[in-house]
Structure formats: C-alpha cells, structure tokens
Structure 1
Amino acid sequence: MEAVTDYGNREFYEGLLLSMIEPLKGRFSPGKARLQLGAETAGYGNRVAGMEGFSRLLWGLVPYWAGGGEDVSLLPVYLEGLASGTDPDSPEYWGDLHDKDQRMVEMAAIAYGLLMIPEKLWEPLAEHSRTTLAAWLGQINQYSLAENNWQYFNVITNLALKHVGKSYSNERMEEAMAKYESFYLGNGWYSDGLRPQKDYYISFAIHFYCLLYAKFMGEEDPVRSVLFKARAKEFAGTFIYWFDDEGKALPFGRSMTYRFAQGAFWSMSAMLELDILPLGVLKGVIGRHMEQWLRQPIYDNGGVLSIGYAYPNLNMSEGYNASGSPYWAFKAFALLALPAEHEFWKVKSEPLPKLEERLVIPECNMLISRRGYDVTALTAGQYPVLQITHAAEKYAKFAYSTRFGFSCPRSYSHLHEAGADSMLAFSVHNMIYVRRGCLEYSVTATEVYSKWSPVEGIEVETWLIPTDQGHIRRHIITSQLECTAYDCGFAYPDMPGETRSHADGTLAVVTDSNGKSIAASESGKAVVINSAPNTNLIFPTTLIPAIEYRIPKGRTRVETRIETEFSDVKIRTGSGNGYEVCS
C-alpha cells in the first residue's frame, strides 16, 4: 500500500481496515467458522488456527461497526460462523476446551463484540445459537489459564456473558483481577505475570483489557475503573518513549508479528477519551505509527498480513504464530469506535511533545536514548524465563533500536548465522554463546550493569554507558577457557552497490549515503560480519560491524564504542535488500 499524507481522518482508517479485509473474504470455511490463511501453522494445530483467524478480524470489525461503519457485508458471515463454531452438532464446531487453551485467547475478541455491539453480533442470533455460544464461552470457567495476561480473558469473557444476560462467574472474574493486581509494578507498569518480561503485552493486552473493563464497568465498579484509567495515564508518560519521531515503535520482545498492535494502547485510550496526551498529540502518535507501517511490505502476494515484521519472515516467529495470528494488529483500530462527529477526527495531528533525551524506566529495566528518528533502549534484567523461540535475542541484547531493529539467529554454529548484533558473542566449542540471563543487574540514569555467564567457565560483567552518538560497553571477562569474543554493533542494511564497509585496525564501519554503524576499540581487531539473510527483523540483508577479542584464561578487560549516524529521512525499512529514502 502507498503511504498517504492524510492519516488523521476516519475515512482513512475505515478504508485501511476494509482494504486489509477484502483479500480475506473468500477464504472462510463453508460454515464460516474458520478463516485459514496459509499452510503454516502453530503448536495448537490448523483447526484452532482457523478459529483464531475468524476471531481476530473482530478486533477491527467490532469498533468499525460500533462507530457507525456502513459496510456490513461480513456481518452475516460472522453471525453464521458464531452459530456453527459453537454448536457441538456442527461439523465446524470449535471443540471443547482444556487447560491453557489457545481458544481462550480468541474468546476475547468475540467477547469484545458482545460487549460493544450486542445488537449486531448477539441479538440477531437464533435462540438456540445464543444458548450454544454462551455455553461455549462459559467453558472458560472450567479450566485454568496461564498466569499472565491470559487472566483477563476470563474477566472479559465473563463480563460479556453478564452483559448479554447469560450465566457467568463473578468468582472467576475476581480471582483473575486479584492475579492481575499481583502483577502491578508501579508507575503504570505491570509485568506479564510473575516473571521479568515487560514488553508490548503490557500495552496491547493488560492495559487494553483494563481500559475495556473500565468502559463497561465505570458505574458498577467505579473504584477499579478510575484506578485503571489513572494507571493508563501514568503508563503513557513513559511508554511514549518507546516511539520515535517518525512513529516507529521499539522492536523488542516477543510477538513482533503483531506489528501495529504496538499502537493499540493509544487507540484504546482515544476510544475511552482518556486525557493521557493532548488530543492532537495522541492523534499524531497513532497516525504516524500507522503511516510508517504502511510503507513496509508486510503482506504476502495475496494481500494477507504475513508472519514477520517489516517483511515476511518466519525465522523470527514463535510457536504460537499461525497464519491468522498477525491480525492481532487489528486492535489498533479501536479508535474507529469514535463516531464521525467526534472531536478526535477534527483536530490537527501534532508532533510529539518535547521529551528527555535520556530516560531511565526502572519498571522495564531500560535506559532509553532519543535522537529524532531513532530510539535506542539499553537493557538488562529483561532476560527471558519463558523460553520462546530466539528468546535471548528478543529480550537479552544490550541494545534495541527503532531504526535498526534486532536480529534472530538461523543457527549458533556460525557467527554470520547467529544474529549477534548488539551482543557480546563468544565462540567456544565450535558454537556461539551470548547473554541469555543475568546473575545480577541494575539500571540507573547513567548506566546499565549486568553480570552474566554465556557458557560454563565464562563470567562477564558488563557496563553500558550512553553517549551522544551511541554507547560504550565495558566488559570484565573472567574465563577458564581460551576463546574468541565478538562485540557486535547494530546491524546495518546491506544494499549491493550502495553499502560500503571496512574494518581497519580497531575500527569497523558500515555506511551508505543515509548513515553508518560503527564499532571501535583501543584493542582487539575490527571485523564486519556478513549476516545471513532474513535474520534482521527490519532489513532482509545486513552487515554488522564488530570488534574481535582474543580472550585468554583469567581476567580480561575490554571496552567497545558503539555509534550510529543517520540523516533525518523517512526510510522504507523493509524494501528490497535494504531501504530507500521516501519523499
């Protein structure tokens, strides 16, 4: 899709949603209860994946219809699908649940519809279909859910059952709310369960659902509703630092294939008319974020949202990513619930307010630096205890950048396949080892410290110190092994004929007309790593400047300077083999 200049009016968002749904209309199953969009699948299999595809489009369709959207061509499809998917006698029955069932996740979008537009998705159903739908949703009260953001699926589903006058469990709702409260960290931040991860699930899941609760329980439960809104406002004050001036959000953590769901918190805040930012600023944040995503090749050749990030890429996916999973991104369309006459659609989009050049966010263990079209987060403590695919790369790198993204490995057998940008990578026993967890860590306004061990026999202390052009890494390595370590800078797009690189002594540089990525040191040997294709989330081919250090047995001190330079141009980051300047 072509980028547009007017991304602030309702017609734009309506047109965007409908254009993204159009290629999917002929892909529903005969009974309309499944939407199978590809041959790839997730750990829960194609049967559930088809139900997921059906459900996730509702994250966009529900607010569209709630706000007065006139295209109801899919409404009969969804009424038929809800009836056949929940009828045990139907060949398209979605099936009975079990503990920690993926279908619990997808119930939330259906519940969203029953809460927002019961007159469209509930009342037109035959009495028998209402009964089977309520019974199917009610199964959530019979089984356990994961001890993380999943707890709110119980709340939202029971709230929807209550809203349409069916049997529900207040006890299960209260149990889930208590667990959510135990996740709260302060300053508007939660953890995703009692574990270190503080990623986009805090914004597009926990806060999203809490605000949805506040919308429908404001009168009945004013204390929680006011609390959730207040926490959202607190959260917004630091979460805004995850977005750069161009609208790019910080690539960090799991589920990056949900793409513009990164902006769902802002969209839900607009729907609830929360005073978290001036209205024009809020409109600008959402609009720039959506506009920059539209400059990426995120669709396959049939117009289906692909698994990937800035381009189709299964290498970075998780085991729960099926062909319909990317449509979680439709949560960003929550703002369509605002009617056409609402002030949001009339105000002019405004740029970000003046933000600090550096900010420590202790709740998510980040020290963030801002430079216009780039946000860089120096991290520690976000090491993964949930061992998803490429967990270390998604949480435990030294730095994450809105401009340069991060890379995921093809293998750990060779350095060029290891996706080791922004990592200190050790070559030991013919394998590559990186930071996967922290033995100790601290994050302050001036530095990020971590103590970690990549492999038995090696222990590292690392200090990350921000500078005006990047950051300095100081390492003390205590090793029982003789080995080689590579301190790797940011991955830079490799465009044949345009990108240049050189490694001269202790200076490694990758550059083109738009900027450069640098790794430098007073010791060691400069190298440039020709990274395997499709390892970086943003650029299909990359080069990584690095410093190679010979590590003897004993105690070794090294220091690496990591810098980036770039022109203030908007970039089409996923285009071709690299990127191109957009006017």
Structure 2
Amino acid sequence: MHLPPDDRTRSPHTGYTRAHWEAAADALLAAVEPYATEDRALYHFPGDRASWSGRLSDGLEGYARTLLLAAFRRDETALQRYADGLAAGVAGVWPRIEDRSQPLVEAASIALALRLTRPLLWDRLDDSVRQRAAAWLGDALTAEAWPCNWELFPVTVGGFLQEIGYEADESRKAIDRGLERIEEWYVGGGWYTDGDGRKYDYYNGWAMHLYPVLHAWLADDSRLLNVYGGRLEAHLADYARLFGGDGAPMHQGRSLTYRFATTAPLWLGALTGRTPLAPGETRRLASGALKYFLDRGAVDANGLLTLGWHGPDEAVLQGYSGPASPYWASKGFLGLLLPPDHEVWTAQETPGPAERSDAITPIAAPNWLIQATSSDGLVRLHNHGSEDVRYDPYYTRLAYSTVTEPSPAYDNSVIVGDDPSRTDIVPLGVGDGWVASRHSAGGGAQVTSVVLARGAVEVRAHLVAGAEPGTTVRVTGWAMGVPPRERIRAWGREGVRAELLPAIGLGAELTGVTGEGDTLFVALARLTAEADPVPLAETVTVEADGEGELTVRWSDGTEVRVRLDGSGVDVA
C-alpha cells in the first residue's frame, strides 16, 4: 500500500495525518473493485473459506462492508459503482432478509451508508430502484435478531427508512424496540454486555455504542444523544487504555479480524463531541492502530484485508467469518466524516495513556484491571468478570495483553487436575491495584483468585476449594507452557519476555497439590519489554499465615494484606 511520507511535525508518534487515512481508504477500495461481479451487486474475494451463511451471503457482505468504506470516504466515483450494484442487488440478486440471517447484518451497513451519503447516492437513483431498495431493507424492520448487538441492526435500518418516509410507523417501532432491548444489557460506567451473560469486548465500541450514537446524531435527537453520547464518553475513558504504545489493540474477545474497527468509537466521540480525549490523543490512538496493522501484513499482495490479525490467522476466526468479514474494519474510517480543518486532524498528536505513565486502572463494570507500563508501552488486562456462554479462550483466560495471544497450552490459567476450564466466573470486586473473582474448575472445585499489580509485576493468588486431597494444581502465566520460539508472540516487539515464579504452594514447575481443606497457591508473574528489569524475586515478597491471609510487601515498603476464603476476597 502506497502512503504519503510521514509527517513527524504534526504526528510525532505515528507520522500519520488525514492524508494517510485517505490514501489507505482509496487503496482498499481500489483493491476490492476487481472482485465485484459484472453487475457489481456482489463482491467475491479469493480463498477457500466460506462463512456458515454461504457464498451468496458472503458476496453481499463484500458489497455492504466495502460500501460503508466508500461512504465514509465520500468517493463519488466509487459510490456510483455501488449505486449500480444496489440496483442489481435489489432486483433479485441479494438474498432476502430473514430472521437471524446474515443479510440483516449487512442491511445495517447498507442503510447507514445510504443515510450518510444520501445526496450523493440515494437521491440520484431512479425512483423504481429506490422503491425496490426500500422494500428489501424493509424486511429488516420485522426480522428477528439474535439477542445481542444484532438488535441494533433493525434500529440502523429503521433510522434510514424513517428519514426517507418509508413505513414510518414500522420504522419507529423497530428503532424503539432495539433501543429498549439493549437497555437490558447496559451495566453502567459506559459498558454493555453483548447480550445475556458477561460478554465484554470490542462489540461495546464498534456496535453497542456506534449504532445508537450515530442514529441519535444523524436524527439530530438531543435527548437520545445525551443518553447514548454520555455513555460513550464514559466508555472512552476506559477504552483508550486498551491500546499499547505501539498502537496494538488489546488481543481479547471475538471478531478480532475486524482489526482497526477498534478505532470507530474513538472517532465517534470526536464526531459527536462526546469524548474525554484531547483531539491529538484521539488521532494518535486511531492512527496508531491503523499503522500497527498496515505495518504487520494485514493487507496481502493483492491489497485485500486477510482473515486474521496481522496476516492470515485461523485462531481469531469464528464460524460466521467469511472472506469479506474483515471489511467491518471499514468502521475505522469513520473519522473521515470529520472535515479536514477539524481539530482532531489539525492538532499535534499527544501520547495515549499507555505512553504517559505507569497506571493500574480498575474498571468496575467488566471487573477488569488494566495494567500499563510506559517504559515499554505494554498493556495487560486482568480478566475477572468476562466470559462467553461457552468456553472461549479469548474470553475466559485470567489475563490478556497487547503483545500476546491466548496459547493452545492454556496460558494464564489455573489447571485443577487435568481440567483447564474456567467457567461460571463470579466477579468479587476490583480496586486500587487489585482485582478478584471466583470460578468453577475441574472436578467440582471452586477457585477464588486475586491479582495484585504494581508496575509490570503481578502477584497471583488462587485458593482452591472442593477438590479431592492430593489433586494436582498447575498455574500458568504468559504463554509459558509452549516451546520457547512460540512462548511470546510479540509480533515485532523485540525483547518481550514473560516470567512466572512460584511463591506459595507451588514447586519449581509451578505445580502443587491440594491438601485436606482449602489450599492456597501463589505465583509471581511479569510480562515486560524493559531491557534490564530488577529481578522479579526482588520486587515483592509474599507471606501466608496458614488461614487464608496473605501479606504482600512491595520493594518500596508498601504493604498490602489480602484475605481469601469461600465467601470472597478482602484487600486492605
């Protein structure tokens, strides 16, 4: 991909300006054009993988998600191609929108693009095409959505159809129904769970906030914007901490192949004036993420986004991931709706949170502790509250970071007997430098865990109850259970290393056995890229009194007392 020269005056951290974003958008749009069908209604990208929705739906996905990019770019030449494809698509090429079907997802992208570019695309269509397109989109108003972020797709379609006067009552009902539905999943502090349970990840940013806030903004509805914009602003205060100093987003949750779609809520805050971030910080975080992926092979030799994280990577895919799925990354170009003279484009870049200072930040809603070190720009997420309805390593491990990925050998886990599962996670609180939870483990055991963090160092304590005496317990850290070459997938970050030392109840192999009653296991961990860190064993000492109480003494003399028992954790 050919980009303009870096501008290190305006953008001292990334070198990227609006011109880089425009060039990236233009290159991505040019690269997909050869893969359109002759009528331009479908985009079939190369590769032997298809989603579980099938080839026709995947082709629609290719159209819809790249149309969204053309809409943010406001590229009239490209939009004309998509206008031709729209006319063919609604004339019988596209599959109908049915209950819980993938076309419902893509209808939202199409409707949003049409709403954003109405004078450039919709208003120039023949009336017969507009009628057929409205009718095709109209099925989204009554289609049953999966009970998650999908509830917002009828909202997005309804917003456009209401604006053009099509089925106004049904459109309003779809909007009200979807917005009411997501209220059940708002847990406060700017955070939603993606449906029932405790599923916290990037769907907060690129779906749960994006669609309601954009709808309120486009409808010029100050009441809705106060509600959803206020939530977005609160969310961004936490969200900005999920990006490493190298631009990498936190490697956690599903649909990670959407890559720099993670920047969408950053731009959304600037677009609507609902952000706690300074303009230069917004651009630094967003440009950092775009640069991170473009520098690491996200785009292949044909200029196409691949199914993966950097390059192709099956580990981050789901059954619904098809060849066009990565183009939800188009949402990351939302910032191009801001005019060139907007301060978010003209301000000098300022450092993001991971670059400014060491910080240990509690996030109450998901029960997470964010641990960042400015010396190396690494960010770690200690997860004591998020899990999927099924076991998923991208939700249920104890920790994630911006430089590692969940390992097949169960990194960041407590393995009781032969069972590495972590289910039924119960948050037990998060505070100044600590976070705790309880979960079910192998053989009916319960594990109460607390992590204390300071700088790059972690004290990890686990109280195992309900296991048969003599049961083996193994504690793992940052991908330590795999061969050295694979130990840390640092993706270009030289010098990143992981450490894990036994402290209480564990032998040299980080393995111990349960006793007659509740048994305590404690380890010291560190993930760092610091060139010459103080030896881990010299950073902290941990003592146990035999009754579930720990005394943690940091090297500067600070002392913390922790009590673990079956009812919870107390930190003082």
Q: How much has 1:483 moved relative to structure 2?
A: 4.6
| Separation in 2, partners of 1:274, 1:467 | 32
2:141 pairs with 1:156: no
Cα separation, 1, equivalents of 2:340 and 2:481: 42
* Counterpart Cα distance in 1 of 2:287 and 2:315: 29
- Please say if residues 372 and 379 of structure 2, whose CA atoms lie closer than 8 Å, have aligned partners that are also in contact: yes
Q: Match for 1:240: what amino acid?
A: A
Counterpart in 2 of 1:559? 522
| Equivalent position to 1:490, from 478, 481, 491 | 478
What letter corresponds to residue 382 of structure 1 in structure 2?
S
Match of 1:144 in 2: 144
| Alpha-carbon distance in 1 for matches of 2:373, 2:177 | 44
Unpaired segments of 5 or more residues in structure 2?
A: 8-14, 488-492, 533-572
Report the CA distance between 1:129 and its aligned residue.
Answer: 1.2
- The answer to whether the 8 Å contact 1:208/1:264 transfers is yes
Question: 2-side partners of 1:458 and 1:2: how far apart?
Answer: 55
Structure 1 pair 492–266 and aligned structure 2 pair: CA distance change class (3 A): farther
CA distance in 2, matches of 1:199, 1:148: 13
In structure 1, the partner of 2:215 is: 213
1:423-455 C-alpha deviation (Å, 9 max, x unpaired): 123452xxx522133256433334322222222
Amino acid at match of 1:378: H
Residue 85 (structure 2) aligned to one of 53, 67, 81: 81
CA contact (8 A) 1:362 1:443 kept: yes
- Secondary structure, counterpart of 1:280 in structure 2: helix
Match of 1:473 in 2: 460
- For 1:193 and 1:110, how far apart are their aligned partners in 2? 24
1:568 CA drift (Å): 7.7
Partner of 1:377: 381
Q: Distance in 2 between matches of 1:272 and 1:85?
A: 33
Per-residue deviation, 1:248:
1.9
Matches within 5 A, 1:124-273: 124-168=124-168, 169=170, 170-218=172-220, 221-273=221-273
Matches of 2:234 and 2:192 in 1, distance apart? 12
Q: Is the 8 A contact 2:411 2:480 kept in 1?
A: no
Please say if residues 307 and 317 of structure 1, whose CA atoms lie closer than 8 Å, have aligned partners that are also in contact.
yes
Matched residue type, 1:423: S
Change (3 A) 1:23 1:183: same
Residue segments in structure 1 that go unaligned for 5+ positions in a row = 410-417, 502-511, 528-546, 570-583
State how far apart, in whole Å, the 2-side matches of 1:487 and 1:131 are.
61
State how 1:75-474 maps to structure 2 within 5 Å.
Answer: 75-88=79-92, 93-168=93-168, 169=170, 170-218=172-220, 221-352=221-352, 354=356, 357-372=359-374, 373-385=377-389, 387=390, 391-407=391-407, 409=408, 418=409, 420-428=410-418, 432-439=419-426, 441-474=428-461
1:113 Cα deviation (Å)? 1.6
For 1:425, give the aligned amino acid. Answer: I
Asked if the contact 1:367/1:445 (under 8 Å) is kept, the reply is no
Q: 1:579 maps to which residue?
A: none
Mapped to 1, the partners of 2:516 and 2:481 lie a distance apart of 36
Q: Which amino acid aligns with 1:79?
A: A
The residue identity in structure 2 corresponding to 1:384 is: D
1:240, distance to aligned residue in structure 2 (A): 1.5
Q: 1:402 to 1:315 in 2, by over 3 A?
A: closer
Deviations 1:86-140 (A, max 9, x none): 123xxxx212222111111111111112211112221222222111110000001
Deviation of 1:345 (Å): 2.5
Deviations along 1:440-489, whole A, 9 cap, x unmatched?
64333343222222223433222222133321111222312755433111
Q: Is the 8 A contact 2:417 2:442 kept in 1?
A: no
Label 1:172 to 1:73 Cα distance change in 2 as closer, same or farther (>3 A). Answer: closer
**Cα distance in 1 between the residues matched to 2:518 and 2:128:** 73
Q: Is the 8 A contact 1:384 1:436 kept in 2?
A: no
TM-score (norm 2): 0.83
Letter in 1 for 2:411: D
Contact kept, 8 Å, 1:155 with 1:176, in 2: the verdict is yes
Amino acid across the alignment from 2:460 = R
Q: Distance in 1 between matches of 2:455 and 2:387?
A: 26
CA deviation map 1:233-260 (0-9, x unaligned): 2221222221233322211111111111
Task: Report the CA distance between 1:549 and its aligned residue.
Answer: 3.1
The CA RMSD over aligned residues, in Å, is 2.7
What is the aligned partner in structure 2 of residue 46 from structure 1? 55
- 8 Å CA contact retained: 1:187, 1:231: yes
Please report how far the alpha carbon of residue 316 of structure 1 lies from its aligned counterpart in structure 2 after TM superposition: 2.6
Deviation at 1:58, TM superposition (A): 2.3
Distance 1:270 1:42 in 2: 34
- Give the structure 2 partner of residue 544 of structure 1: none
Deviations 1:400-445 (A, max 9, x none): 11122333x3xxxxxxxx3x111123452xxx52213325643333
Q: 1:552 to 1:313 in 2, by over 3 A?
A: farther
Q: How far apart are 1:355 and its partner, in Å?
A: 6.1
Q: Which residue of 2 aligns with 1:5?
A: 6
Could you tell me how far 1:2 is from its partner in structure 2?
8.1
Q: Normalization by structure 1: what TM-score?
A: 0.81
Asked if the contact 1:83–1:129 (Cα under 8 Å) also holds between the matched residues in 2, the reply is yes
Determine if contact 1:140/1:154 at 8 Å carries over to the other structure. Answer: yes
AA aligned opposite 1:487: V
Cα 1:341–1:559, aligned 2, differ >3 Å: closer, same or farther? Answer: closer
Deviation at 1:181, TM superposition (A): 2.5
Q: Is the 8 A contact 1:2 1:295 kept in 2?
A: no
Match of 1:514 among 495, 505, 515: 495
Please state whether the residue corresponding to 2:459 is helix, strand or coil: strand
Q: Deviations over 1:497-556 (max 9, x none)?
A: xx699xxxxxxxxxx9714211111454445xxxxxxxxxxxxxxxxxxx2334567543
Q: How far 1:212 sits from its partner (Å)? A: 0.8
Which whole-Å CA distance do the structure 1 matches of 2:277 and 2:420 have between them? 43
Offset at 1:315? 2.6
Q: Distance in 1 between matches of 2:320 and 2:531?
A: 37
Identity of aligned residues (%): 25
What's the offset of the Cα at 1:563? 1.1
Contact 1:299–1:312 at 8 Å: present in 2 too? no
Partner of 1:64: 73
Q: Separation in 1 of the partners of 2:344 and 2:515?
A: 62
Alpha-carbon distance, 1:34 to partner: 1.1
Distance 2:386 2:276 in 1: 26
Contact between 2:255 and 2:316, CA under 8 Å: does it hold in 1? no
